[in-house]
Amino acid sequence: MAEYVGAIDQGTTSTRAMVFDHQGRVVAQHQLEHRQILPRAGWVEHDPEEIWQRTLAACREAFDGVELAALGITNQRETTVVWDRRTGRPFSNAIVWQDTRTDRIAEALDRDGRGELIRRKSGLPPATYFAGGKLQWLLENVDGVRQAATDGDALFGTMDTWVLWNLTGGPGGGVHVTDVTNASRTMLMDLETLDWDDELLAVFGVPRAMLPAIRSSAEPAGYGLTSVPLGATRSGTGGADSRIPLTAALGDQQAATVGQVCFAAGEAKNTYGTGNFLLLNTGTEPVRSTHGLLTTVAYRFGDEPAVYALEGSIAVTGSAVQWLRDQLHIIRTAAESETLALRVPDNGGVYFVPAFSGLFAPYWRSDARGAIVGLSRFDTDAHLARATLEAICYQSRDVVEAMQQDSGVTLDVLKVDGGVTANDLCMQLQADILGVPVSRPVVAETTALGAAYAAGLATGYWRDTDELRANWNESHRWKPTWSARQRDEGYRRWRMAVERTLDWVEIGAG
């Protein structure tokens, strides 16, 4: 029987289980969506128990009859859940990374000066995006959480921790761990010590006892063995053992960085999903941003030094296309956005800034809200579709501009991955708006691949990162076609459109 590596990709809208061979090719996969719970404007929640059940079902379908050397997990980052260690039941729905209910918390931190402490130690600005404020909100607003935390019965985790805990036994002895990449998204970890920081915990009123242990992204000793049947067997046991070693965990964007083999300082990738996430490898020393980017951990393999990244996080990109489909009903499928946009040669003067939950990098403005500007009687649904695709690309240019100013690195090529990269027009627009080639790999869903790579490195399934580089192959490359004048004028008007979105809501008003 052939030997493979498995990956669980627990994302914002769905959970996918995938199996990869030694060449990094997809052998099997299964994907299941979960509900998006929207209790009020600005609030986004998930049901953690639903996600766990969907994870289990996806694994059992994809892994059935497969022999696995190891299993890695990657996850939507910052999404926060607190549960009872005795029963395994969550105290409430998980608060999703897009949720903005903590805007008053974030604004107060900047107003009274504690924001500088958070920036210095965690590399992150106070923002609704990150898990620390969400955890504070749960401690203060959900009945029983503060007392359970005081008693040592409440456990906190991002979705990697929740899935790992359930996979390894749940209330019967689940392993309560996270990795450095997910911990670096909480505002609670010191970027240099790679440990929870007492000063930061005090800022948010978080008891240390409810936090998971922080481990490397790839653990040769493993986090533990699966204790629930997933349909797979452990390699080398002749089918006699169904306990699979869990040897890797990374936040989804860091996993995609590994999947895109961005192992050298100066290499960057952009993942196009619900939001966009552009990461630039900066090596083993953290680079502090002065232009609105995040300093974060890219990965840490075993006992090797951690590798850091600058990140530009954009909240709404692919989900703007979903908005055209689900709220405006001008397209029936996401793929139709390309067909509709191709009916017109340009945006007709229309610019769409999808600041549905404020603006993330490089602006960090929770007071912003979405705006469509430049409309005239001439414009049609096709112009709006094209403006939506351009918005994805202009937001990425905002981040690239900030990245170049922080790091001094000028991109020669942008590696891209994620579902939106199937949209050829959008990728051509990205090349035109950036003025650099855009390159898509053969395996476009690199998030799960990165988790598999990390898990396989931990067990020796792959010898080293050079072997992973050899697996990377380009599927398509888009070259810029716009003139410099066209590019500059389009970006100037984009920045004008962004200005129209600011100061739209009072902090805390939603």
Q: Would the pLDDT of 214 be above 60?
A: yes
DSSP letters of 216-256? Answer: -SB-TT-SEE--S--S-EETTTTT-----EEEEEEEHHHHH
Report d(CA 415, CA 106) in Å as an integer.
33
- Is 16 one of the annotated binding-site residues? yes
pLDDT over 90, % of the chain: 79
Partner residues linked to 358 by β-bridges: 356
pLDDT tens digits along 145-200: 999 999 999 999 999 999 999 999 989 889 999 999 999 999 999 999 999 999 99
Q: What is the DSSP string of 346-367?
A: S-TT-EEE--BTBB-TTT-BTT
- 77 annotated ligand binder: yes
Residue 1 has pLDDT above 70, yes or no: no
Does the annotation place 49 within a ligand binding site? no
Q: Say how far apart CA 2 and CA 336 lie, in whole Å.
A: 39
Residue 129 assigned ligand-binding role: yes
362 prior amide bond cis, ω within 30: yes
Helix (H, G, I), strand (E, B), or coil: what is residue 124?
coil
Instruction: Decide if pLDDT at 70 tops 80.
Output: yes
Q: What's the rounded Cα separation, in Å, for the pair 167 and 161?
A: 10
Using only C-alpha atoms, the chain has a radius of gyration, in whole angstroms, of 22
* 252 carries a ligand binding annotation: yes
The pLDDT of residue 45: 96
The reply, when asked if residue 23 is annotated as ligand binding, is no
Is 14 known to sit in a ligand binding site? yes
Whether residue 495 is annotated as binding a ligand: the answer is no
**What pLDDT, in 10s, does the model give residues 11-20?**
998 999 999 9
User: What integer is the mean pLDDT of 247-274?
Assistant: 92
So what's the pLDDT on residue 366? Answer: 83
User: Given this model, what pLDDT does residue 107 score?
Assistant: 87
Ligand-binding annotation for 64, yes or no, is: no
The predicted model scores a pTM of 0.87
Is 423 annotated among the ligand-binding residues? Answer: yes
Q: Is residue 78 part of an annotated ligand binding site?
A: yes
109 and 120 Cβ atoms separated by less than 8 Å: no
pLDDT tens digits, 352-399: 999 998 898 899 888 899 999 999 999 999 999 999 999 999 999 999
Query: Was 12 annotated as part of a binding site?
Result: yes
pLDDT (mean) for 265-285: 90
Tokens of 122: 């965690």
pLDDT digits (tens, 9 = 90+) for 225-246: 999 999 898 887 777 788 999 9
The answer to whether 49 and 27 have CB atoms below 8 angstroms apart is no
pLDDT at 273: 83
Would you place residue 2 in the very low, low, confident or very high pLDDT band (cuts 50, 70, 90)? Answer: low
Do the annotations mark residue 463 as ligand-binding? no
